[in-house]
């Protein structure tokens, strides 16, 4: 059974991390203290080597606890390398800050802070290299059929086939599907080399043999009444059990549960910005970013105002009703880029290529997104955010909500000046469905880091819009 191997591997992994921590620390001390770096700071680094080495008694177990807290000992079969690196960085950052705070609290002024900075960089680097090496070794082992997890699937459904598809496509995960049990599909039926072995009741014979590492329950929707019986049977045998729902096309990949006095409640969609702290943090960044952007782009906006007045009669700012947070309408500001027209004429049509209503300077503004700059004031008002799904006119919202599944989910967050869809090329006359897919990804995976990434990419991909007419 793989569980025996996993137990020894976990212990070995902790030992390797402890050695990497100790090596990183000793190398940091040697580089900073013994190689003369401290000579420029005679008032520091006067502690004896034994004092520095004694700190290892706190650093090694402390960092190992942090690694555990940041899921660095979770199974490597599914954990991505970027996620693992992010967790290494987080754990080391917390450790570094705690270490500095501890030195301050005990008023230890002679312990080298510079050495700790070197330790931070060196440990993150070495830990990342070692873990990538371990991942490479394990992936090769799993690909060649060693130390694989033996899985039996209970129930034949769409989820069964998709699960098998993913296992076959990713041999580095180290999974081997031994077969399927189902009451409605004939024994001997094959799907991509995986055979239906018999009926679900055969579990009572198979489980006592103790040759399986996991059971994956993949019942069809019409058989969920058997779920309690199957789970009880699996848990009685002590085999780890997974449940792969057959309604994943309804529920997204990141639902979350709440405990209602012992009753689990599944929330269909997790929206990080529904958290008050996250929303407040994003709002602070929006206000600060909008102020800075208004100052930086004020010469561009002044030049645009002059050119609009010189090239066509009418107001400088064009106000248009858009649908925002919680489906509430608001007035969105843009520099006027078209000839003045009646509201009834413009509200039901998008701009098309070579549209005669667009002014000469307006075409330039649309192509470079300068016409969007007044929305910085929408951000200050709280109607919009720097980053989020682009808001749409009420007429099109009513149209798309009937045509595109999950379209209205985008209104669970503030609309944005730029967004994930825009930096991926879905602006102007592009696929609405793909745009919504990008919006949903952003809504479900929001982090402040993702916002900064989108703002960064906007400078290279988002301003010039080849699809703007």
**pLDDT over 90 at 285, yes or no:** yes
Going by pLDDT thresholds of 50, 70 and 90, the confidence category of residue 43 is: very low
Query: Length of the chain, please?
Result: 469
| 64, 129, 318 from 121: Cα distances, Å | 17, 12, 51
Looking at residue 77, what is its pLDDT? 58
Higher pLDDT, 1 or 399: 399
Say how far residue 106 (Cα) sits from the centre of its chain.
39
* Average pLDDT for 303-319: 88
**pLDDT over 60 at 445, yes or no:** yes
Higher pLDDT, 345 or 287: 287
For residues 314 and 340, the answer to whether their CB atoms sit within 8 Å is yes
Looking at residue 375, what is its pLDDT? 95
For residues 127 and 88, the answer to whether their CB atoms sit within 8 Å is yes
* Average pLDDT for 5-31: 83
Buried b or exposed e, range 279-296, using 16+ CB within 10 angstroms: beebeebbeebbeebbee
* Average pLDDT for 6-18: 80
* Average pLDDT for 446-458: 89
**pLDDT over 70 at 45, yes or no:** no
For residues 270 and 256, the answer to whether their CB atoms sit within 8 Å is yes
The whole-chain average pLDDT of the chain stands at 83
**pLDDT over 80 at 461, yes or no:** no
Looking at residue 388, what is its pLDDT? 94
Neighbouring CB atoms inside 10 A of 241's CB total 16
Lowest mean pLDDT among 28-32, 59-63, 355-359, 376-380: 355-359
Looking at residue 154, what is its pLDDT? 93
* Average pLDDT for 152-178: 87
* Average pLDDT for 177-200: 92
Higher pLDDT, 409 or 332: 332
**pLDDT over 80 at 342, yes or no:** no
* Average pLDDT for 105-132: 85
Going by pLDDT thresholds of 50, 70 and 90, the confidence category of residue 197 is: very high
197 φ/ψ angles, rounded to the nearest 5 degrees? -85, -25
The dihedral of CA 456, 457, 462, 464: what is its sign?
positive
Looking at residue 116, what is its pLDDT? 85
**pLDDT over 80 at 249, yes or no:** no
Describe the crossing of helices 2-29 and 113-143 by its angle, rounded to 10 degrees. 150
Structural domains for the chain: 2-143 (no CATH), 149-250 (3.40.50.720), 274-462 (no CATH)
Task: Express as a percent the part of the chain with pLDDT over 90.
Answer: 29
**pLDDT over 70 at 6, yes or no:** no
Lowest mean pLDDT among 106-120, 245-259, 302-316: 245-259
Looking at residue 42, what is its pLDDT? 46
* Average pLDDT for 416-425: 90
Structure tokens at 326: 């919680």
Beta strands 317-323 and 329-335: pairing type? antiparallel
Which residues, 6 or more positions from 322, have their beta carbon under 8 angstroms from its beta carbon? Answer: 329, 330, 331, 332, 391, 392, 393, 394, 415
Task: Express as a percent the part of the chain with pLDDT over 70.
Answer: 85
Going by pLDDT thresholds of 50, 70 and 90, the confidence category of residue 1 is: very low
**pLDDT over 80 at 143, yes or no:** no
pLDDT digits (tens, 9 = 90+) for 51-105: 778 888 888 999 999 888 887 887 655 566 777 888 899 899 999 888 888 888 8
Looking at residue 2, what is its pLDDT? 44
């Amino acid at each position: 059974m793989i569980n025996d191997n996993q137990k020894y591997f976990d212990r070995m992994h902790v030992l390797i991390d402890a050695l990497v921590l100790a090596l990183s620390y000793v190398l940091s001390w040697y580089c900073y203290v013994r190689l003369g770096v401290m000579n420029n700071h005679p008032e520091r680094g006067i502690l004896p080597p034994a004092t520095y080495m004694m700190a290892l008694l706190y650093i090694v177990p402390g960092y190992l606890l942090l690694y555990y807290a940041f899921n660095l000992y979770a199974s490597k079969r599914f954990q991505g390398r970027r996620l693992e690196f992010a967790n290494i960085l987080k754990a080391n950052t917390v450790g570094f800050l705690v270490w500095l705070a501890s030195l301050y609290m005990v008023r230890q002024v002679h312990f080298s802070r510079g050495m700790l900075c070197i330790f931070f960089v060196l440990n993150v680097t070495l830990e990342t290299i070692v873990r990538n090496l371990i991942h490479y070794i394990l992936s090769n082992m799993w690909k060649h059929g060693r130390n694989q997890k033996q899985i039996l699937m209970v129930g034949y459904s769409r989820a069964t086939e998709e699960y098998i598809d993913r296992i076959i496509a990713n041999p580095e995960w180290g999974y081997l599907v031994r077969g399927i049990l189902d009451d409605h599909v004939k024994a001997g039926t094959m799907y991509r080399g995986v055979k239906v072995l018999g009926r679900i009741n055969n579990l009572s014979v198979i489980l006592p043999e103790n040759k399986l590492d996991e059971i994956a329950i993949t019942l069809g929707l019409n058989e969920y009444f058997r779920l309690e019986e199957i789970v009880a049977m699996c848990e009685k045998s002590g085999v780890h059990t997974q449940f792969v729902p057959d309604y994943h096309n309804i529920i997204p990949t990141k639902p979350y549960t709440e405990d209602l006095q012992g009753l689990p409640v599944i929330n269909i969609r997790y929206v990080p910005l529904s958290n008050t702290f996250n929303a407040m943090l994003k709002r602070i960044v929006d206000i600060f970013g909008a102020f800075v952007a208004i100052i930086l782009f004020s010469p561009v906006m002044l030049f645009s105002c002059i050119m609009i007045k010189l090239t066509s009669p009418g107001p400088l700012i064009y106000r248009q009703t858009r649908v925002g947070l919680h489906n509430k309408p608001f007035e969105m500001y843009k520099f006027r880029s078209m000839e003045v027209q009646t509201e009834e004429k413009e509200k039901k049509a998008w701009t098309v290529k070579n549209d005669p209503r667009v002014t000469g300077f307006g075409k330039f503004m649309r192509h470079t997104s300068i016409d969007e700059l007044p929305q910085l004031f929408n951000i200050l008002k709280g109607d919009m955010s720097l980053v989020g799904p682009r808001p749409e006119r009420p007429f099109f919202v009513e149209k798309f909500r009937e045509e595109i599944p999950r379209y209205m989910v985008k209104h669970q967050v503030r609309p944005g000046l730029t967004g994930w869809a825009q930096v991926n090329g879905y602006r102007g006359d592009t696929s609405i469905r793909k745009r919504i897919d990008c919006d949903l990804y952003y809504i479900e995976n929001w982090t402040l880091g993702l916002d900064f990434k989108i703002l960064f990419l906007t400078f290279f991909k988002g301003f010039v819009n080849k699809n703007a007419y």
